[in-house]
Amino acid sequence: MGWLANKEKRSFAIQLSLALILIAVSYIIVQNVRENLSAVGIRVDFGFLSGEAGFDVNESLIAYSAADSYGRVLLVGLLNTLELSVLCIFGSTLVGVVMGIVRAGNNWLGSRLALAYVELFRNLPKLLILLAVFVVMVNQLPVVRHAWDLSGGIYISNRAMYFPVLIWADGMSFLLLGILAWVPAVFFWGRYVSRHQDLTGKRLPVAWPVAGSFLFIVFFVSVLFGIPYQFSIPVLERFDFVGGGRLSVQFVALAVTLSIYHGGQITELVRGGIQSVSASQIEAANALGLRQGQITRLVLLPQALRMIIPPMGNQYLNLVKNTSIGLAIGYSDLVSVMSTSINQTFRPIELMSITMMTYLAISLVVTALLNWFNARTRIIGN
């Protein structure tokens, strides 16, 4: 057994045997689960997905009725989960960055208040916060028949916030095309301006050409295609407002709860990142005569970001998964529609595995985006 003395060969042999064991064990697991399931008479079959769901959901980004399929209602739930997740990622980041800067700053009162906020929200269970926010909103806001009239067709009640929405007209797709063309144009103009500044030292105007070109496109396309700008305005009928758009109380309660809850944790990440930047950097920036805002934007954040972004990924992943507490207060997210579907179809294995795979896919996408962003900030930082 002389080859055991060779480190490379030994290591290869160990890895090979471990790999073989792993394959054998996973085979046993799959076989075991399959046998157990068939022993109790459970067949895994996804055919039910095309069957009629038969229940309604309280909000949906796409057209949905009770006559649609289980597959469709799961898609509705997924889109609701994504909508809430994206909003809360922005919300919690905004709250966390602002509070983190305040927390690490020199203002004693601000720093203490930020500390109180962090300690309060990271020591309470999020479901409790959610139920408290929901119950307070439902009890304190007026019932729909006495909704607060904020004028301009905006109403607030304990059911939802109602607001006017633009009615889609024929020419609007051209307007969208125009705006889609305008975005890269602005981008190229910005690059041209900075190159021009590098070469000549003169800064060309940015604000008025950007705003002007936008207004020109909107005006030109509107006149050319005769777009009628009409709004659908909510009107109170017997039981509810009809027309316009609505933002339900449960959506707002969830967005607020998750933004504040995760904002508190992001605050600590941001504080840690800022404090990891050496104090002499700030002194140097001060010595150069930079203003406080410039120091934060140009010196502090670019260096702090490198410390902040990796743990941020964890926060975002947790946040996406935490949107599932929406089920408690009637937000039709993926887990909520999954749960109702399981009760109707009794296909927990199929539905839970679909849901798990979906969450896994979302998490992998979030992770990939963060890795990409992390790589970018690293290059800039160096």
Residues that bind another protein (CB under 8 A): 11, 14-15, 18-19, 21-22, 25-26, 28-29, 32-33, 35-36, 39-42, 54-58, 66-67, 131, 134-135, 138-139, 143-144, 158-159, 237-240, 242, 249-250, 327-330, 332, 336, 339-340, 342-346, 348
DSSP designation for 52: B
Smaller CB separation from another protein, 22 or 380: 22
Shortest Å distance, C-beta 22 to another protein: 6
Q: How far is the CB of 348 from another protein (least distance, A)?
A: 6
Nearer Cβ to another protein (307/338): 338
Q: Which is nearer to another protein, 92 or 336 (CB)?
A: 336
Q: CA-CA distance, 373 to 316, in Å (whole number)?
A: 14
Q: Cα–Cα distance between 261 and 268 in angstroms, integer? A: 12
Between 249 and 320, name the residue whose CB sits nearer to another protein: 249
Q: Name which of 230 and 343 has its Cβ closer to another protein.
A: 343
Q: How far is the CB of 308 from another protein (least distance, A)?
A: 27
Q: CB of residue 328 vs another protein: minimum separation in angstroms?
A: 4
For another protein, the closer of residues 5 and 40 by Cβ is 40
Name the packing angle between helices 348-381 and 70-104 (round to 10°).
40
DSSP state of 41: T
Q: What angle do CA 283, 289, 291 make, to 5 degrees?
A: 90
Q: Least distance to another protein from the beta carbon of 127, Å? A: 9
Distances in whole angstroms, Cα of residue 135 to Cα of each of 69, 80, 88, 148: 33, 22, 20, 18
Query: CB-wise, 145 or 376, nearer to another protein?
Result: 145
Rounded (5°) CA angle 129-130-136: 90
Least Å distance, CB 20 to another protein, is: 10
DSSP conformation letters of 244-302: SEEEEHHHHHHHHHHHHHHHHHHHHHHHHHHHHS-HHHHHHHHHTT--HHHIIIIIIHH
Q: How far is the CB of 367 from another protein (least distance, A)?
A: 17
- CA 382 – CA 370 distance, rounded (Å): 18
Instruction: CB nearer to another protein: give 57 or 270.
Output: 57
In sign, the C-alpha dihedral spanning 304, 310, 313, 314 is negative
Pairwise CA distance, residues 382 & 344, whole Å = 56
CB-based burial, 139-166: b 16+ in 10 Å, e otherwise: eebeebeebeeeeebbbbbebbbbbbee
Please give the helix or strand (H or E) that residue 121 lies within, else none.
helix 108-122
Question: d(Cα 294, Cα 194) in Å, to the nearest integer?
Answer: 19
Minimum Å gap between C-beta 320 and another protein is 19
